[in-house]
A and B are shown apart, each in its own frame.
Chain A
Amino acid sequence: MAGKSGRSINNVPESPIKKMLFSWEGILVIVFILVNIFCACFSEFYNLKSLLRQMPVYLAEVFLMLPMAYILVLGEIDISVGSIVCLCATMSCIVCNTGAPFVLVVITALVVGTLCGSVNGFILTRFQELPPMIVTLATQIIFRGIAEIILGSGGSISASNTDGFRLLAGKVGSVPYILFLVVIMAVIFAVILGKSTFGRRVYAIGTNRLTAYYSGIHVQKIRFIIYTVMGTISGLCALFIVSTSYGANTTTGNGFEMDAIAMAVFGGISSTGGKGNLAGGVISAFIIVCLRVGLGQRNVHAQVILLILGLLLIGAVALPNIIGQVKKAMKVKK
């Protein structure tokens, strides 16, 4: 049960090819191809080159989707990640401007992220009664607030030495480093979630926390680790965001949490916990990236793009359910 997609079409014949085709991931791959064909026809500028050039900004958000998937599988949510990105970006720019070597800048971002994540984890495990949404809402305000205090009036900082960040934004041929890193990280996260004991335990907690607890799983320890890793990855995301802007400001990372959640959910990871896998999340992330780039290249109004994404999100979850219900109703009639 665990590891299966959150969504599937009922009553599919059990032949392996058909099974694969009708699984959520299979459908996503088809959607991905369709989206690319659509975009290529829709925008005269849509090609591999422009896609690869525009990708890095979006890929930074894909990083966030990976640990977010774990949190969603737990049946929880973290809406503070955008603010963690903001704080990490701010701190890394400040350290960068002291003239410190770039390694130190990278370490700062990751450490600050880890600290923020562990604050979330600490509060959530110490006071288990508290809903994650409200705790991360409070820390969302706090982390961005701290960044606001640090940035002072003006609320914006520019990295004086951009060499390190330019290096991060570098490319092999026309493929940006970040694409490789996203793929590597996605594989690592997917394997841990899908194949390791740790991953199985995450599913177990998401399916039934009490049962998981009684069967000897350290529920709180696992929750703590996941929220902390979420912070670390936010630090990583912040580094790449700074590498596209050479600076940070009080709005950096605004709304990233929603983008990350949307990618994961569209990929079949259930927000009620216990279901979904990362392959779906990664494919859906690329669908969303391609669609946004394609529509954006024809200057479709930003709000219309959001409208389409909103409908897509609802449709992706609602359609399989409706089809299932219709089929069930027809069966009853027979």
Chain B
Amino acid sequence: MNKKLVSAVLCGTMVLGAACPVFAGVADGKKIALVGKSAGNAFFEIAAASYKETVEAEGGTVDVVYPEAATADAQIKVLDNLISQDYDAICISANDVNALQAKMEEAMDAGIKVSSFDSAPNSDSRQVFVNQAGTVAVGQALMDAVLDIAGGEGQWAILSATSQAANQNAWIDAMKSIMESDEKYSKLELVEVAYGDDEPQKSIDQTSALLENYPDLKVICAPTTVGIAAAAKYLQDNESTCKLTGLGLPSEMIEYTGADDAHSCPYFYLWDMQGLGKLSAYATIALANEEITGALDETFTAGDLGEYTITTADDGGTEIVLGLPLQFNSDNIEEMAKLY
């Protein structure tokens, strides 16, 4: 009796939900959603702010949406929500290479344009990817930094985020192949790739283990914002002779950057975060306006950034490369830390 009633009410409510009228607003311009990796990521916020500013200046609207956790499962739920809402385009920084494919295909089938930036889903899941800096260019810059800081020879190690971070792995692979391809790196010895999971605690455990296991270690390269800050603090506090480079946020690294022995990090790299947001915004708008389809060799104008061409990405899809990584050192860090 009870159960029958329950099921009857359940059905009734569902019908009620379906019958509820749909109020569709007529929005001016394009409606775009920007999906982050997780909430509370300062790195993403900077690009998102610039993305939003750019699109709004062009007359569109942007909703910045976060998954509840930094997982692909949570992003799938977000994408489901977005597909229901008649967006013109979705731009995503993916938590996993493969796991978003089903939902991204569904979005494209529903006529939503799909672009990505920062961290790409696989080539079947996107129309275009805005790469902050060419993978090889980042690998080259980091490799040269390691060579320079180590003084041409010696042991070095990598402190990465998690083992499945797609962009980290791509940079590490690029560094490894660059190291093998050129004779000048032959005296460098990569002793270990450690994973700090982007947790300060674990990053410090890994850093101290590296130092204890390899007393002659000259350089640690940490291509991750949390890892580089944690390692920088540890090295600086312990007045270690081991130096650090990698990819980090200037505002996080300002205390540790300097050419003298008192600082643990002589210089490090990142790209133009504001530019990344801006270029991604223009790329998404161009997709939504069907100026580009994401095919190879198409060109579009990204406001005052100039003209960009779509090129082949390492994974077989297409990408737009923002530019070269920027170097931050004791000369410019004060100024850049105010920006991001």
Minimum C-beta distance from A298 to chain B (A): 9
A305 within 8 A of B: yes
A137, B100: Cα distance in complex, Å: 28
A299 within 8 A of B: yes
Chain A residues within 8 Å of B68, by CB: 302-303, 305-306
A68 within 8 A of B: no
Q: Among A20, A39, A44, A155, point to the contact of B25 (Cβ < 8 A).
A: A44
A89, B228: Cα distance in complex, Å: 33
Complex contact A47–B169 (CB within 8 A): no
B190 within 8 A of A: no
Minimum C-beta distance from A24 to chain B (A): 12
Interface string of A46-78 (1 = CB under 8 A from B): 111111011001100000000000000000000
A155, B80: Cα distance in complex, Å: 24
B319 within 8 A of A: no
Complex contact B101–A303 (CB within 8 A): no
Closest to B12 in A: A33
Q: Which of A205-213, A238-246, A312-320 contacts B (4 or more CB under 8 A)?
A: A238-246
Chain A residues within 8 Å of B33, by CB: 299
Q: Among B3, B66, B71, B77, point to the contact of A254 (Cβ < 8 A).
A: B71
Q: Give residues of chain A (233-283) contacting chain B, Cβ–Cβ below 8 Å.
A: 241, 243-255, 279, 283
A297 within 8 A of B: yes
A151 within 8 A of B: yes
- Asked whether A51 and B5 contact (CB < 8 A) given A153-B169, A249-B98, the answer is no
Closest to B39 in A: A303
A25, B4: Cα distance in complex, Å: 13
A40 within 8 A of B: yes
Complex contact A148–B81 (CB within 8 A): no
Q: Among A33, A46, A156, A306, point to the contact of B99 (Cβ < 8 A).
A: A156
Chain A residues within 8 Å of B97, by CB: 154, 156, 158
Give the interface size class of chain A.
Answer: 35 or more
Give the interface size class of chain B.
Answer: 35 or more
Complex contact A155–B162 (CB within 8 A): yes
A33, B20: Cα distance in complex, Å: 13
A122 within 8 A of B: no
- Asked whether A297 and B15 contact (CB < 8 A) given A158-B98, A286-B10, the answer is no
Complex contact A158–B122 (CB within 8 A): yes
Interface string of B173-190 (1 = CB under 8 A from A): 000000000000000000
Interface string of B136-173 (1 = CB under 8 A from A): 00000000000000000000000000111010010000
Greatest chain A CB density within 10 A among B14, B71, B86, B98 is at: B98
Chain B residues within 8 Å of A37, by CB: 16
Closest to B6 in A: A29
B295 within 8 A of A: no
Complex contact B18–A47 (CB within 8 A): yes
Interface string of A166-180 (1 = CB under 8 A from B): 000100000000000
Those 8 A-B pairs whose CB atoms lie nearest each other, nearest first = A155-B164, A48-B18, A247-B98, A158-B98, A302-B68, A251-B71, A40-B20, A296-B81
Listed in ascending order, the chain A residues whose CB lies under 8 Å from chain B are: 20, 25, 29, 32-33, 36-37, 39-41, 44-51, 53-54, 57-58, 148, 151-158, 162, 169, 241, 243-255, 279, 283, 286, 292-293, 296-297, 299, 301-303, 305-306
7 contacts between A and B (CB under 8 A): A33-B16, A158-B122, A245-B73, A245-B98, A251-B73, A292-B77, A297-B84
Listed in ascending order, the chain B residues whose CB lies under 8 Å from chain A are: 2-3, 5-6, 9-10, 13-18, 20, 22-25, 33, 39, 63, 65-74, 76-78, 80-81, 83-86, 95-103, 122, 162-164, 166, 169
